[in-house]
């Protein structure tokens, strides 16, 4: 799994503070003229993320690269609407060796079962071989791709502003999130701390930790003992049948 923060808005802390102060004070027309110490910027940033009006976080954009991630994960990722995506086209790119190279997801609960793991790998190999036969017989890649599994790896890039990114991560760090996405979310948090600065990860916590009280805000309780279900299981079961 390769998760990289490729680029982000220059001087993000200063941009956020400048944009926020513009709503209430006269500000210079360039960041070079904006005279605010780093400690003051950090103090103001912490104030901004604690109050409900966080629109100015949208002034900071981030660009991400993900590889070694499944198509199933990518379907979940693109449910975040306030973002732009570029996904590798399996209509064009051939995947004739994906099983040989183990370029597919193996969930930990399958990996821990030797019998299931071997069957899982065998099925991937069978899919690869049939896919190879289809392509070699002249079937177009766009038709052969229909048998490829959701577990297959391919790269995807994403552009997203900081406000939308925070919202996405506070949801996907929840224990209810599927394992692969939760792992990606943690790697993204590490990248932000490493490249943008540790102050930018201070607001990134699971949603339930941002809400006071002992009630889980999700419709489906993750099982945390310090949080009570918001909705009774029988009420959820009425609407979510699976």
Model pLDDT, residue 191: 98
Q: How many CA atoms lie within 13 A of 134 on its CB side?
A: 19
The domain locations on the chain are 2-86+154-209, 94-147, 211-242
Model pLDDT, residue 25: 87
61-67, strands of its sheet edge to edge: 2-8, 61-67, 156-161, 83-87
Average pLDDT for residues 62-74, to the nearest whole number? 98
Q: pLDDT at residue 234 above 60?
A: no
CATH class of 2-86+154-209: alpha beta
Burial of 68 (0-12, 13-18, 19+ CB in 10 A): middle
| pTM for the full predicted model | 0.88
- Judged by DSSP in three states, 63 sits in strand
Q: pLDDT at residue 236 above 80?
A: no
Instruction: Confirm if 200 and 193 have CB atoms less than 8 A apart.
Output: yes
Q: pLDDT at residue 59 above 70?
A: yes
Q: Are strands 61-67 and 83-87 parallel, antiparallel or unpaired?
A: unpaired
Q: pLDDT at residue 216 above 90?
A: no
Tens digits of residue pLDDT in 13-45: 999 999 999 998 888 999 999 999 999 999 999
- Token pair in block for residue 147: 């048998």
Measured CA distances, 172 to 124, 205, 224 (Å): 28, 10, 15
Q: pLDDT at residue 222 above 70?
A: no
Measured CA distances, 28 to 20, 103, 215 (Å): 13, 51, 45
């Amino acid at each position: 799994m390769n998760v990289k923060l490729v680029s982000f808005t220059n001087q993000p802390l200063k941009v956020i503070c400048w944009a926020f102060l513009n709503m209430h004070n006269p500000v210079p027309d360039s960041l070079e003229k904006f005279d605010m110490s780093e400690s003051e910027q950090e103090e103001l940033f912490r104030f901004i993320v604690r109050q409900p009006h966080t629109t100015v976080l949208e002034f900071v954009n981030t660009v991400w690269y993900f590889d070694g991630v499944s198509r199933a994960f990518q379907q979940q990722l693109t449910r975040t609407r306030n973002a732009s995506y570029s996904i590798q086209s399996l209509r064009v790119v051939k995947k004739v060796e994906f099983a040989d190279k183990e370029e597919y997801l193996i969930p930990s609960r399958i990996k821990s079962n030797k019998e299931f793991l071997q069957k899982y790998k065998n099925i991937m190999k069978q899919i690869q071989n049939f896919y190879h036969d289809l392509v070699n017989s002249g079937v177009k890649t766009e038709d052969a791709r229909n048998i490829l599994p959701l577990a297959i790896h391919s790269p995807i890039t994403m552009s997203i502003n900081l406000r939308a990114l925070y919202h996405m991560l506070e949801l996907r760090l929840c224990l209810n999130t599927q394992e692969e996405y939760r792992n990606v979310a943690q790697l993204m948090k590490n990248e932000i701390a490493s490249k943008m600065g540790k102050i930018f990860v201070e607001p990134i916590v699971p949603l339930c930790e941002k809400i006071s009280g002992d009630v889980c805000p999700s419709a489906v309780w993750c099982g945390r003992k310090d949080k009570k279900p918001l909705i009774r299981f029988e009420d959820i079961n009425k609407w979510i049948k699976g």
